[in-house]
Structure 1
Amino acid sequence: MVDARVLAVPVVPRQLSAQRGRDPYPYFGWLRANAPALPELRAGGYTVWYVSRYEDVLSLLADQRLSKNPDLVPGYVSGPLGANRHLVHADPPEHARLRKLVGAAFLPRRIAALEPLIAGTARQLLDRADPAQGMDLIEDFALPLTFTLICTILGVPEQLITPATRQLLADTMVPSHASDTREQLQVFLRQLVACKRLGAATELDLLGALAHARGDRLTEEELVSTAYLLLLVGHDTTVNLIGNGMLALLRNPEQLRRLREEPELMRTGVEELLRYDSPVRNATFRVAAEPISLHGNTIQSGDIVSLLIGSANRDEARFPEPDVLDLARDPNEHLAFGRGPHFCVGAALARLEGGIAFRLLLDRLGDPRLAVPEDALRWHPCRVMRGLVSLPVTA
């Protein structure tokens, strides 16, 4: 419930609110200027606070007064049972244990070993395409690229790859279809974990490495949940990075040409694309475990705190000309992967996959342009992620 000491809550202009699904950045700018901590009372009787300024988001990402436990929120219904026993939804000390185990599967040598697979898969996908006739950079490239990588990371054995399971995994990776496949997905992931326990892990098989970890080990429920996390969160983030990043380059052709002519800009370029239109719009779930004062308001225990990463990454108090795409921007301390104890464990993998994808797309597409009017582009209706449904282009 909103505390009685909350200052008068400004009313969000209707036009900004209506367009935020397509372009949230004017809305975010209004929040930073007028309501940096905006409360919203939900139908379930609980309150969500939207925090929009960089310094506040940065601080709260590492604030121990915020918990990952949804049971602290009266009337709140969390995600599907059996899929939340992973590090993203864990508090200390359990989080430190899970983080140590999962982090061991993302060692630099394991990530580096995936580079030939990523590059080879990307080349094969582009070999099949004819950009002059048009292609969808989401459907024809980003989705199948990340699908192949995720299946490799999960170490899906041949005996489990049937037309039905292939379709199940493909459907699960589309946000609008994911809720329809949860029960089937649980069955598949349990079968997969059982195979991982029995078989030997390969160099590229991160889930197998987790299943065979010595000493402290993940339980079956934790392994299933971690596989679920890798499948959905890891996949969506990278698809959105490629889609949002390519759209940003298409909208800024001088920056696209610069990146093609100066490939040494790829490192800072990927960081800028992550900042400019972040694949994760809101940080993952957090709830106040004790009262928190912020901008004259009191966030009460049991209130949900939504940290707007997309807004923080466009904060003019932190980034000079934040609405300008500058691929040479350095330093660039964006929050696209979070910060603090819950910093994205797969950040290095996403950066690697994004850098390879952008390099090959620029090499192969020539002078790409949108094949549809910008107002025809559709975005997935998701509060946490920000990603395109499709991105048709021609060259």
Structure 2
Amino acid sequence: MTDPTQDPGFLQNPYLAYAAMRSACPVQPVPGSGGHSSYLVTGYAEAREALGDARLSKDTAAFFADKESRRRLHPAVAHSMLASDPPQHARLRRLVTKAFTTGAVAKMRPFIARVTDELLYQWPAGEQVDFVADLAVPLPVIVICELLGVPEADQVEVRRWSAELFAAGKPDLIDAASHSMAEYMTGLIAAKRSRPGHSLLDRLISARDGDDHLSEDELVSLAVLLLVAGHETTTNFLGNAVLALLQHPGKLGHLRKYPEKVPAALDELLRFDSPVSTATFRFTTEALTLGGTEIPAGVPVMVALGAANRDPEQFSAADQLDLDRDSAAHLSFGHGIHRCVGAPLAKAEAEIALRAILVRFPGIRLAVPPDQLDWRRTRLVRGLTSLPILT
């Protein structure tokens, strides 16, 4: 049993390996950590089914309860809303959903546009900039920090801790970052209790679900999750989308000519190169059959969203970028009860940023060959560490 996703070329182009695995069998065992097998889902129909199957639990505390582990993730990170099942998950999700409705996000658009303008104003015309460092990272960080009420002076450290949480192959660094982030949010919550404001975090402090307040642990955990998830996915989305357009100059030119078409293009850009390559941890609570493959109880199942989005059974010519296709069924934000609650905010940020770049920098192009780009070394998310462009 081999895992093609461990091939050195996988980070540059995971879709060749995904296609080979999907063609052989859309659900198959792959080597897991500690010598145990996991199952990887690469087919679209199977992925959608898995994401909605209640027999695939996200309660990692239950999975690891009787297993030895050297990890020391802070409970606020290890036992977040993402790692919970109904009814606990539904209760927590209800308390944050209102902050990310279409109407709520619409009120954030002027702030997003202002931050975008301020960041792009610093780009020198006709010179090289790093799209990731100079826009894709700071824009969503500033936006989610504004939403949560994180002081500007703290945002550099918050950004560093968040990046370290995704440091593949560095468990000690990940664990340390989880404690730093949770301890910071604990202190920020205490400060807001003494000096209440109007941020989302202030609202969560006083939030109720019926007669039930959030516990202190739940409050810290939600705050950390919103802070990290609120910008990591968007950063990767922005970088992947701009790279895709730069590699398809005809489509880039079309959007430049008709920038009003950017909102309709977002779903295809999300489908084409998903910012989340593999959905977060699930495990089987009972034996089940998925895509013709029998999976025993108590084993991890990884749903490869990026692979599912390139399944030709669901999307014709799936390896081609087609801005005119209807890609609304993509799985980049997940599916079912765990679908990304912040999807409307991510799309608003991407729309505003892409339209601004198209108008301000009509000659934008890659500064290095695509095969020299450096990708983040993790299978969970797919994103560039940097994207050198010429303005």
Q: TM-score, normalised by structure 1?
A: 0.90
Supply the distance in 2 between the matched residues of 1:12 and 1:96 (Cα, whole angstroms).
35
Other-structure match for 2:158: 169
Other-structure match for 1:72: 63
Q: 1:379 aligns with which of 372, 375, 378?
A: 375
Letter in 1 for 2:331: L
Offset of 1:109 from its aligned partner?
A: 3.2
Write the mapping of 1:35-184 to structure 2, written as runs, cut at 5 A: 35-70=25-60, 71-72=62-63, 75=67, 77=69, 79-157=73-151, 162=153, 165-174=154-163, 175-176=166-167, 179-184=175-180
Supply the distance in 1 between the matched residues of 2:249 and 2:33 (Cα, whole angstroms).
44
Other-structure match for 1:4: none
Give the SS at the match of 1:63. Answer: coil
Q: 1:20 aligns with which of 10, 33, 37?
A: 10
Runs of 5+ unmatched residues, structure 1? 1-8
Other-structure match for 1:392: 388
Supply the distance in 1 between the matched residues of 2:41 and 2:33 (Cα, whole angstroms).
20
- Cα separation, partners in 2 of 1:339 and 1:345, compared to 1, 3 Å: same
Supply the distance in 2 between the matched residues of 1:303 and 1:130 (Cα, whole angstroms).
52
Offset of 1:76 from its aligned partner?
A: 7.2
Letter in 1 for 2:180: Q
Determine if the alignment matches structure 1 residue 297 to structure 2 residue 293: yes
Contact persistence 2:116–2:139 (CA under 8 A): yes
Write the mapping of 1:266-345 to structure 2, written as runs, cut at 5 A: 266-345=262-341
Contact persistence 1:134–1:393 (CA under 8 A): yes
Letter in 1 for 2:10: R
Most deviating of 343-352 and 37-46: 37-46
Supply the distance in 2 between the matched residues of 1:187 and 1:129 (Cα, whole angstroms).
35
Contact persistence 2:161–2:180 (CA under 8 A): no
Supply the distance in 2 between the matched residues of 1:87 and 1:12 (Cα, whole angstroms).
30
Contact persistence 1:45–1:75 (CA under 8 A): no
Cα RMSD, aligned residues only = 2.0
Letter in 1 for 2:228: L
- Cα separation, partners in 2 of 1:186 and 1:13, compared to 1, 3 Å: closer
Runs of 5+ unmatched residues, structure 2? 168-172
Give the SS at the match of 2:95. Answer: helix
Supply the distance in 2 between the matched residues of 1:356 and 1:293 (Cα, whole angstroms).
43
Supply the distance in 2 between the matched residues of 1:136 and 1:352 (Cα, whole angstroms).
22
Offset of 1:383 from its aligned partner?
A: 1.8
Say how many residue pairs are matched: 378
Letter in 2 for 1:262: Y
Contact persistence 1:142–1:239 (CA under 8 A): yes
- Cα separation, partners in 2 of 1:134 and 1:76, compared to 1, 3 Å: farther
Other-structure match for 2:250: 254
Supply the distance in 2 between the matched residues of 1:256 and 1:230 (Cα, whole angstroms).
32
Other-structure match for 2:170: none
Write the mapping of 1:149-228 to structure 2, written as runs, cut at 5 A: 149-157=143-151, 162=153, 165-174=154-163, 175-176=166-167, 179-202=175-198, 205-214=199-208, 215-228=211-224
Letter in 2 for 1:329: R
Offset of 1:139 from its aligned partner?
A: 0.5
Q: What are the Cα deviations for residues 85-134 of structure 1, in whole angstroms up to 9, with x where unaligned?
A: 43211111111111111213323332111111110000011111114111
Supply the distance in 1 between the matched residues of 2:345 and 2:106 (Cα, whole angstroms).
9
Supply the distance in 1 between the matched residues of 2:267 and 2:279 (Cα, whole angstroms).
18
Letter in 2 for 1:114: M
Contact persistence 2:76–2:224 (CA under 8 A): no
Supply the distance in 2 between the matched residues of 1:36 and 1:326 (Cα, whole angstroms).
24
Q: What are the Cα deviations for residues 50-71 of structure 1, in whole angstroms up to 9, with x where unaligned?
A: 0100000001101010001223
Offset of 1:178 from its aligned partner?
A: 5.4
Supply the distance in 2 between the matched residues of 1:272 and 1:331 (Cα, whole angstroms).
5
Q: TM-score, normalised by structure 2?
A: 0.91
Other-structure match for 2:24: 34
Contact persistence 2:145–2:155 (CA under 8 A): no
- Cα separation, partners in 2 of 1:80 and 1:374, compared to 1, 3 Å: same
Supply the distance in 1 between the matched residues of 2:360 and 2:176 (Cα, whole angstroms).
36
Supply the distance in 2 between the matched residues of 1:76 and 1:107 (Cα, whole angstroms).
41
Contact persistence 1:288–1:300 (CA under 8 A): yes
Q: What are the Cα deviations for residues 339-358 of structure 1, in whole angstroms up to 9, with x where unaligned?
A: 11111110111111111111
Offset of 1:138 from its aligned partner?
A: 0.5
Letter in 2 for 1:221: D
Q: 1:348 aligns with which of 344, 348, 351?
A: 344
Supply the distance in 2 between the matched residues of 1:69 and 1:257 (Cα, whole angstroms).
46
